[in-house]
Structure formats: C-alpha cells, structure tokens
Structure 1
Amino acid sequence: MDATDATTLYAELDRRSAAVAEQVIAWRRHLHRHPELSNREGATAELIAGHLTSLGLDEVRTGIAGHGVVGVLRGGRPGGRVVALRADTDALPVADLCGTDFASSAVDRDYPGGPFPVSHACGHDGHTAMLLGAATVLAGVREQLPGTVLFVFQPAEEGPPVTEAGGARQMLAEHALDDPEPTMVFGMHLTPHPKGHVGYRAGNQYAASCLVKITVTGRQVHGSTPGRASTRCRPPPRSSPASASSTASSTPTTRSPSPSATSRTSAASTSSASASPSGAPSAAPSRATWPTSSGA
C-alpha cells in the first residue's frame, strides 16, 4: 500500500467512524442498562455474535470460555500479519449510582454469595460497544486491508466465581488465539483523560487482582485472651501445686513446718516460675503468672 492509498484509507476510516458513532453510543447504553456478571454474560454474547454475523465476517466463534466470542476478518490485500483487538464484557456486583435514564436496576439473585446488584462500574459496556464499532468500520473496508483482524470479546475479566474457570486464561486454554495466531494484540480501557485524548505505553499499564487462599491453623480463643492461642501454652489446672502450697504456707500455725514440708513448698514455688530452654513453662503456671502475650 503506497502513501496515496493509505491516505485514502485513513479518510474512509474516519468517515465510517463518524457514521457509526451514534450506534456505538446506543450499544453502550443498552449494555449499561443490561449488565451481566462474570461467566453470566449470555445476553451480551448473543448481541455481540449477532452483530458480527451481520457484518459477514469470515468466522464468528462463540461459547469460548463460557460466553467468549471471537470474530475473524481476513483482508482483501496480501499480508501475513494478524492484529487482535480485545474488549472485556462482564460487569461488577455493585449498585449503579450514575443517575441516568439508562442506569442499571439489575439484580443477580443466583450468583454465588448473592443476591447482588449489577452494574457496569468498570467501563466494559464502553469497551464492548467500541469494539463492535471498530468491527463495523473495518468490515466495511475489508478489501483494502492487508492481513487479518481478530475481534476478541473476553468474558469474566473481573474474575469468575472461585469454583469456576473463566476469563483470559480459559480463553487461551480453549485455543481462542491459536488459528490464526495474532502478531500483535491491542486492548483499551476507559480512563478519565480529557475528551479526545488517548494514553498509551508499552508494557504493563494497569494493576490486576488475583485470588490468594490462606489456611490458618491454630486454637480458637476469645479475643480477651490471645495468649491462650499459642500451641506452647496450656490452660492452668483448677488447683496447681503452686497455689496450693501458697495457701498452706499463709495459714497461721503455732508450730514450725517440718523440713520436708518446707522443701516441698520451695520446690513447688520454684517449679511454677521456671522455664524450659525453649521458653515454655515447665509446669502449668498459676493464673497470677499466666503469660498473656509472651507465649503468643
């Protein structure tokens, strides 16, 4: 394609983009009014597949990773490059507070952990509408395009329920991008830039979330006695040798204790305060000396 052909093509793309703009807005508002949670995007996928089919694409693949859709457009000019354009389609389990006449009132009563209000609070309605618009424009100039374009609509970008597979990983596992394999992939996310501006960079742009599963093993205790949760500590017996000897020695008596009684008292008192080399009490401490934090 020479410079003249390219200039002509760019002008045609601009003209067609302007012509489809109102339809993109209508798609976006429809999707905003009818959001669906991750792995539940059935009606959204039906709308997407229906429009891609109406454009006469070479292929429209559905049911990928649940409700994923891939459209394949092969250009009329020679070229081996394959460009993938990707949009996400799922919504979030939050209430819609936008206050417009196309605000969502959807509630998913069957979703795990629900019921949940549902809204497109992350802009995926806009992403899906824009990609439908791009497919419309590019399909209209297919004879002038070298190479192939893939239109990839990914479900469950926000993450499927923990007991289900889904999202980009599952689409790849189901060979969504194997034939043809893209040489470059473009994704776009709405962000509060000034109108008419597009930001871009090579590499990572946004953060992502992941599921972390933690198993905690321990002893359940009341919040007022966290020290008892330690595996090195044990609750004191109802009557320990230390408390018994202390009570006996404090009782008034007219005769002196025998040497053997004195030895027993001293030994009991010493053992209640001594510790093993590991730091754990060598005998059960009395309530007065119970470690509430050092053993935790």
Structure 2
Amino acid sequence: MTQAGARGSRGSRGGTATLALPWPVWVPAVVGFGLIAVPVAGLVVRTNWPDFGALVTTDAALDALWLSLRTGLASTALCLLLGTPLALVLARSRLPGIAVVRSIVLLPLVLPPVVGGLTLLFLLGRTGPLGRLLDAWFGITVPFTTGAVVIAQTFVAMPFLVVSLEGALRTAGERYEVVAATLGATPLTALRRVTVPVVLPGLVSGSVLAFARALGEFGATIAFAGNLQGTTQTLPLLIYIQSQNDLDGAVAMSLVLVVVAVLVIVATRTRDVSGVR
C-alpha cells in the first residue's frame, strides 16, 4: 500500500477521509496565518501585565464595557427581530428584483462604517427628513444618544445575521416545508415547527456574529452617536481615545476585546461543528 493510501486508510478507519495537501498550499497558508497571529501576539507581549487589572477596571473602562455589552445585546435583539424575516424573504421569496434587495441589505458589509454613520445622521439628525419629523411630532432626538449607538450597531451587524441565516435556509431547502404543507400545516405552523428548528444552528451562529460585530463597531457609532462617556462611549471608542494619551490602557482594553472575539469565534465554530455532526 502506498503512503498516500495508508493515510487515506487510517482516515477511513477513523470515520473521516483525509487528503494530503500539496506543499505549495502550506507556504502562503503559513504566511497568511502569521499575518493575523503575529500582530495579536505582539499585543499580548506589549500588554502591561502588572497593571492590567487596574487598567481595565477604571471608571471609564467599566462604563464603556458595560455600555458595549448592553447596546450589543440590544442591537442583536433588533437584528433577530428584523433580520430573521428579512433572511426568510431573501431565501424563499420569488419577488422580482429580489437580487437588488439583497444587494442593498448586504451593503453595510462593504460600506465604510463611518459612511454608514453619516447616512444615519443625515436621515435621523434634526435637519434630516425623518429626524425633523421625530423632533417636531414627538420631541425625540436620536443622534448622540444611547439609542443612536444601538441603531448604528444594528445597521452594521444585521447583514451578518442575514447572510448566515439565508445560507442556512438555502442549504436546508424547502422539502421539509413542502412535506409539512402536504400534511395540512399552515405556512405559519410550518415556519414555527419545521423551518426554525432546521435552521436554528445558522440562526444562533448569525446572532453570535452580529453581537461580535456590534461589540466592535467604531466608525458608524462615532459618526452618528458621538463619544460621550456613559452615554455613547463604547469600548472601541474609548480604546481610540486612550491610544492618544494612555497607550497601556488602550492595549489592555484591546486585549479584552480580542479575548471576547476569540470566545465568540470558538462558540460559533463549536455550534457549526456540532450542527454538521
């Protein structure tokens, strides 16, 4: 038996077939990994570990972290409320022009976040068409409030949930819903009892990714909500400010965000692997 055959045989006995990668793949793969891993490692090395606890527990840091968590959870809830039906429409609807709708929905993925923040400001600011009405009719001012942070985070994070859930819906197909319909289930019952359980892993993954994106949002937030401690100053904004006058504090808080991001990725990957199995 050849060496490649032996490797394939061992993989088959373990339940998963393996395939040796050609060596030219490994060189750029290692370089690509280093491009991501080395800067993160540098952040760990640069951290002032003796003062780490004090740096991440200042009043400003705790306020920013608490605000980031609260607004991140609120924006994730909005993403679920609005993005789930939107993903269903994109995956199941046969309406003309649905490709154009999809392009618009995914626009925040490629749009610079600060541009997204400015578009929100032009729409919901006091001189904007919708902001002027809200101010005149209800006395509501949206920009530079905690609500503005939630809106900005939802704007940039919702496409992540939509992409994940739409992919799960397309992978699952419509066969289960068709079977449910032949058994007398209404569309709403089929959605609740069949579709949602089938795509639940994708929904969970999309929600986690949306939360992570909201937690790290900077550009749209600072353009639309400003940078007011305790009101709109999230952790990324505080890191930016601290990087100009307190580098140790900025590095320590950056490491906190890195740890949160790693935990999110691990949780998402674990969910994906368990769903495949």
Q: Which has the higher helix share?
A: 2
**TM-score normalised by length of structure 2:** 0.31
Structure of higher CA gyration radius? 1
Bigger RCO (CA 8 Å, 6+ sep): 2
Q: Which has the higher strand share?
A: 1
